[in-house]
Structure 1
């Protein structure tokens, strides 16, 4: 029997087939958290750890089940999700618009970018007193804080992607005498989209971080409020349950965003597909 001229490919093929199985990659991603959870559960049950400050997974799951059974969990999840979605929408649209403006117009970049970079360095918590003073303690201040958190990574990603477009591609478009709208649609937009998608995902992650900060500082519902309530009542199982709910909700939203934006970059032929 003749040996394969490329033994590495023979080894990689079954691996690629296994990774391509339906749900195979998702299940593989659960190995580490499940191993950690089972290990901590075993340590607590064996008496190697108390589990008082960091409760075992069985107690956390019981808390989640109880919150879900009463409907309280869904109220908090819905409140946080609506705030993140609204703030992400406003922040992402503003970030894309301003990033495209400063990325394509040198005058706008010199005029706006220094101020935006200075504002980006301000800690998120520093905006809270000002937003509460301007908008009160209700939804407007929370959504505005989330939008600010989303705006800056999206702005940087879009502006940086436009600035890093290969000059030769633009020159080719000019050789073919493309108009400015055609140049933007056929060359700039496809070149910018992959980096813009990454910026949107980063902004979405920061949106969940900012909603936690907003809800910790004044809310009657939301996962951030659930965290604060668990701290005040001395319930570490509720705190961990809220953290897990944040993680699951954030991951699901990120997966939805990736699925919605995947067709925009389908033309790419990247090395990731073969690794």
Structure 2
């Protein structure tokens, strides 16, 4: 006791620190008992607000609800006579026509030809767009050489190049695949290049701090950072591939869904034309769903970090 009193008197600041520490030790169990409920309450309120204001839980088979509603309206309008069958065939007529064309093998043969054209053009366009985006996004020299011509091509519709492509490559498969590829390059390039140019500066500083080499930076920082933009570009490119296919298959084609539709137009067979449109739409819907599935699986780490 005789030694403690002079110490408190000689060092009032030290005494205040001791008093604060003792108070904190006494209050710690009470704070520990209060803090978890407060934190859990805050998290629960945040989840409730997200459910109320955000997208909420995914609806089962949501991708098919819109097309199903459209078909239902079409069927009702046909059954009630609102739609003249000479102008627009009924859904059941299209189904019967599809069954007949499948039975004689014409639909499957044309379907395979169209799918081959679309996927060849898509693969060529995605590959070329990715290479150009990497050149322009990772080097200033590449951006100076590549970005200008690509932006010029972006301002020129792909379909406007068809006459020139016919002069250069004829009306064969080469022209059709190249037309599809040119329609695919631009969305892949634009979104991948933008993603490369907007990588968080903190990641760049971190790479410099840990002294990553140029190749390590590209592999571990630039490419993963650009992946969301690349996948968004691929989603748009898939749609562009099918849009270009619809056009090129009606230019002196001897096979494919577009060729089948052109013949049907000559004979006024609206059910075959509608069947071709349905096939194109289903192909586009399935392709977009596949890319979205890849996007969900590949970018699952973003949801983990957000959670």
**1:253 corresponding residue in structure 2:** 287
Aligned to 1:196: 230
Is the aligned partner of 1:73 residue 2:86?
A: no
Work out the number of aligned pairs and report it.
Answer: 263
1:164 aligns with 2:192: no
Match of 2:121 among 87, 92, 99: 87
Question: Which whole-Å CA distance do the structure 2 matches of 1:145 and 1:36 have between them?
Answer: 31
Q: What's the offset of the Cα at 1:153? A: 0.9
Taking the aligned partners of 2:63 and 2:255, their CA distance within structure 1 comes to 31
Partner of 2:19: none
Deviations 1:21-40 (A, max 9, x none): xxx632x3323322232233
Partner of 1:146: 180
Where does residue 29 of structure 1 map in the other structure?
A: 63
Match of 1:136 in 2: 170
Superposition deviation, residue 12 in structure 1: 5.3
1:114 has 2:148 as partner: yes
Unmatched runs of 5 consecutive residues or more in structure 2: 1-40
The yes-or-no answer on 1:269 pairing with 2:303 is: yes
Runs of 5+ consecutive residues of structure 1 not aligned to the other structure: none
In the aligned structure 1, how far is the partner of 2:201 from the partner of 2:46? 41
**Whole-Å Cα distance in 2 between the matches of residues 265 and 64 of structure 1?**
38
Query: What TM-score do the two structures reach when normalised by structure 2?
Result: 0.78
Aligned-partner SS, 1:219: coil
1:120 deviates by 1.8
The answer (yes or no) to whether the contact 2:126–2:185 under 8 Å persists in 1 is yes
Say if 2:135 and 2:146, in contact at 8 Å, map to a contact too: no
The CA RMSD over aligned residues, in Å, is 2.7
Instruction: Determine if the alignment matches structure 1 residue 208 to structure 2 residue 242.
Output: yes
1:242 maps to 2:265: no
CA drift of 1:262 comes to 4.1
- C-alpha change, 1:6 and 1:173, in structure 2 (3 Å) is closer
Which residue pairs with 1:181 in the alignment? 215
- Per-residue deviation, residues 20-72 of structure 1 (Å, max 9, x unmatched): xxxx632x332332223223322322233323212221111122222112111
Out of 245, 250, 265, which is 1:231 matched to? 265
1:155 to 189, 212, 215: 189
Per-residue deviation, 1:118: 0.9
SS of the residue 2:302 aligns to: coil
Higher relative contact order (CA closer than 8 Å, sequence separation 6+): 1
Once the 2 structures are TM-superposed, how far is the Cα of residue 77 of structure 1 from its aligned partner? 1.0
Measured against aligned partners, the alpha-carbon deviations of 1:108-140 in whole angstroms (never above 9, x if no partner) come to 212221121112211222211221221121111
Contact kept in structure 2, 1:154 and 1:199, CA below 8 Å = yes
Deviation at 1:8, TM superposition (A): 7.8
Task: Report the equivalent of 1:125.
Answer: 159
Q: Distance in 2 between matches of 1:139 and 1:128?
A: 13
Query: Residue 190 of structure 1 contacts residue 265 of structure 1 at CA under 8 Å; is this kept in 2?
Result: no
How many angstroms apart in 1 are the aligned matches of 2:229 and 2:46?
35
After TM superposition, give the deviation of residue 7 of structure 1 in Å. 11
Residue 11 to residue 140, structure 1, CA distance change in 2 (3 Å):
closer
